[in-house]
Amino acid sequence: MCSFKFKQSEIVLSIFRKKTLSFFLFLVPLFCFCQNIELYKQYNGKYDYKAFGNTLNISPNSCNIQTQSSAVFSLSPSQNLISAYLYWSGSGGLINDTFPGDYQVSLNGITVSAERTFINNLQDNKFYGAFAEVTGILNNFGNGTYTVSNFDLTGNIFPGSPYCNNETDFGGWTITVVYQDNSLPLNQVNIFDGFESVSQFNNNLTIQLTTLNVMDNMGAKIGFLAWEGDASLAVNETLRINGNILSNPPLNPQTNAFNGTNSFTNSSQLYNMDVDFYSIENYIQTGDVSATISLTSGQDYIIVNNIITVLNSELPDATVSFENIEIICNNLVEINYTVFNINSTGILPAGTPIKFYLEGNQIGQALTNNNLPIDGQETGTISLTIPTDTVPDPFTIKVVVDDDGGGISTVTEINEDNNEFQQIISLAEVVLNLTLDPDILITNDDAICEGEDQVIGINSLTPIEAAGANSTYQWFFNGTLIPGETGEQLTVTQVGTYQLEVTYEGCNVTDDILVEFIINPIAGTPTPLIICDQTPNDGIADFNLTEADTDIINGQTNNFVTYHETLAQAEAGTRPFSKSIHQYSS
């Protein structure tokens, strides 16, 4: 937590001198706006890290700031870059402050904008930090010189400005690089970051590092990125881990840990910033899952931006997920799940339990079948019964790996809090309801005439594909399977009962239709219609054609007659007469 201690009195003459300026401090607390140091990223495997960067200060608090600086970076052929993170910081505040920070810079000519930002106050002065991932840029440029430019704080740092008056003027950048090397032991690399500070107004800072997992303290180390430290100020300035003072003399003595140095290059000219690391082999123990970092300062203003630990670790990390549930058939559902051992430094053993829960109640269980190596995974399938008639809608199915059934882990893992996966399921969305129309419909006319091949099948208005793109079909005739007939439609030529069975992922539905052929009608010979010409004698008469219907139908049932002007129209069934009376001219 960020806090300042202050002495109350009516008027206190305070030596704000992080350097040499006197203030009258009234009964007003000193506020600290900051972000607590917390875990940002964790890497497990044959990993380590290095850092490089540079200051913009040409000397300690010189009130003469540059707008760019460079540093050299390289990895050996056996080292593969995994991730790279750019941190930059300086004297300035938020964008809308009187003295804003610069939240957009260039790295080797490529514009980089802050993805995350930090802020910290020392009385009325603000100091900012910025962060961006630059893995792609480093992959592109490889080994060589890196320049951060367009980093302009000249509007904040000039003679007479508050930062120059207080000698708190600084700017700088660093890139933290995580790399993989097969010659390394299995390590856990933790990147913690935030923006917490100590000063004469806040003499003590305690940071609790959690989610550690120490299997062996051999080679263990811790690194720091800190801003605004001064080599010339060392009033009760200490850095401790688990109560033990850290030092790296002569670069970083016990009483002046933050003194403008870079442990990676052994430079002592990294003015007003520190990129340092320390061995902590003797200060942690096997089995430790946390560490306490303590900083003190009686005068120097120090902002801690990141802390990185590298610890030997050989543990699995079991996680699990399952595919989206699309169908529940006959109260049964098949869950296709996958167990992972991705972010790990050890094998996940075979026989690790997997529990399945419906609304908090266990409804199934399984075990891993194989030893899962680092980055390994294993798939499985389990059939679960879902009481769809009593379960709430929606409901939750949860799967937990490495669970003894009572929420207790059976395998020691890197992270014991990432073993669950769940899905909220709505019955309305996933219960398959394979339905056809009340009857399979004939796709052409409603009647099938004798001697004509006709097609029957699913009503095109309600296609079965709505039930699932992987539906399969099988036709039967009078209860006997018709070999090879596996489509949505069937051409029929015989009288009888036809049945279609549709199956989708174990669910099936059937429907049938009785096909009866209508005998083709034979037209009878009608009695000629004769009418005498009426007055005047114009050769035109009206005939009622329907008088011939009875003769033409000749006693056949379910038939009717239409009349057309031409044979072609009659055969096509087009343009029937709309009236039964028709005039005819002789």
Q: What is the pLDDT of residue 543?
A: 74
Confidence band of 434 (pLDDT split at 50, 70, 90): low
Question: Residues near 184 by Cβ (< 8 Å), separated by ≥ 6?
Answer: 46, 47, 48
Q: What percent of the chain has pLDDT over 70?
A: 85
Question: Residues near 576 by Cβ (< 8 Å), separated by ≥ 6?
Answer: 562, 563, 564, 569
Q: What is the pLDDT of residue 458?
A: 63
Q: What is the pLDDT of residue 91?
A: 97
pLDDT at 18 over 60: no
Q: Alpha carbon 485 to chain centroid distance?
A: 44
Q: What is the pLDDT of residue 535?
A: 62
As a whole number of angstroms, the distance between CA 346 and CA 133 comes to 28
Q: What is the pLDDT of residue 19?
A: 32
Q: What is the pLDDT of residue 546?
A: 83
Q: What is the pLDDT of residue 353?
A: 95
pLDDT at 158 over 70: yes
Are 176 and 192 spatial neighbours (Cβ–Cβ below 8 Å)? no
DSSP 97-138: SSSB---EEEETTEEEE-SEEEEEEETTEEEEEEEEE-HHHH
Using the CB atoms, write b or e for 350-371: b if 16+ within 10 Å: eebbbbbbbeeeeebebebeee
Q: What CA–CA distances, in Å, run from 207 to 11, 34, 40, 252?
A: 33, 13, 14, 20
Domains and CATH numbers, the chain: 12-312 (no CATH), 319-430 (2.60.40.10), 441-518 (2.60.40.10), 521-586 (no CATH)
Q: Which of 177-186, 531-540, 550-559 reaches the highest mean pLDDT?
A: 177-186
Task: Indicate the range of 180-194, 263-277, 488-502 predicted with least confidence.
Answer: 488-502
Q: What is the pLDDT of residue 451?
A: 61
Q: How many CB atoms lie within 10 A of CB 329?
A: 19
Q: Which of 335-349, 436-450, 516-530 reaches the highest mean pLDDT?
A: 335-349
Strands (E), 267-360: 273-279, 291-296, 302-312, 319-322, 332-341, 353-358
Q: What is the pLDDT of residue 71?
A: 98
As a whole number of angstroms, the distance between CA 353 and CA 365 comes to 7
pLDDT at 384 over 70: yes
Question: Residues near 398 by Cβ (< 8 Å), separated by ≥ 6?
Answer: 356, 357, 360, 420, 421, 422, 423
3-class secondary-structure state, position 83: strand
Strand-by-strand arrangement of the 395-401 sheet: 361-367, 353-358, 395-401, 420-425
Higher pLDDT, 241 or 328: 241
Q: What is the pLDDT of residue 31?
A: 33
Secondary-structure breakdown of the chain: helix, strand, coil percentages, each rounded to the nearest 5: 5, 45, 50
Q: What is the pLDDT of residue 136?
A: 97
The whole-number average pLDDT for the span 423-444 is 64
For the chain, the average pLDDT equals 84
Confidence band of 469 (pLDDT split at 50, 70, 90): low
Confidence band of 415 (pLDDT split at 50, 70, 90): confident
DSSP 201-248: TB-EEEEEE-S---SEEEEEEEEEEEES--TT--SS-EEEETTEEP-B
Confidence band of 327 (pLDDT split at 50, 70, 90): confident
The whole-number average pLDDT for the span 186-196 is 94
As a whole number of angstroms, the distance between CA 410 and CA 350 comes to 12
Task: Indicate the range of 96-100, 218-222, 224-228, 552-556 predicted with least confidence.
Answer: 552-556
Q: What is the CA radius of gyration of the chain?
A: 42
Question: Residues near 466 by Cβ (< 8 Å), separated by ≥ 6?
Answer: none
Categorise residue 56: left if φ over 0, alpha if ψ from -120 to 50, beta otherwise.
Answer: alpha
pLDDT at 579 over 80: no
Q: Which of 148-152, 436-440, 571-575 reaches the highest mean pLDDT?
A: 148-152
pLDDT in tens, 74-108: 999 999 999 999 999 999 999 999 999 999 999 99
Are 39 and 131 spatial neighbours (Cβ–Cβ below 8 Å)? no
As a whole number of angstroms, the distance between CA 274 and CA 310 comes to 18
pLDDT in tens, 43-68: 988 999 999 999 999 999 999 999 99
Q: What is the pLDDT of residue 24?
A: 31
Q: What CA–CA distances, in Å, run from 524 to 42, 290, 449, 520, 543?
A: 94, 104, 19, 13, 19
Using the CB atoms, write b or e for 67-94: b if 16+ within 10 Å: eebebebebeeebebbbbbbbbbbbbbe
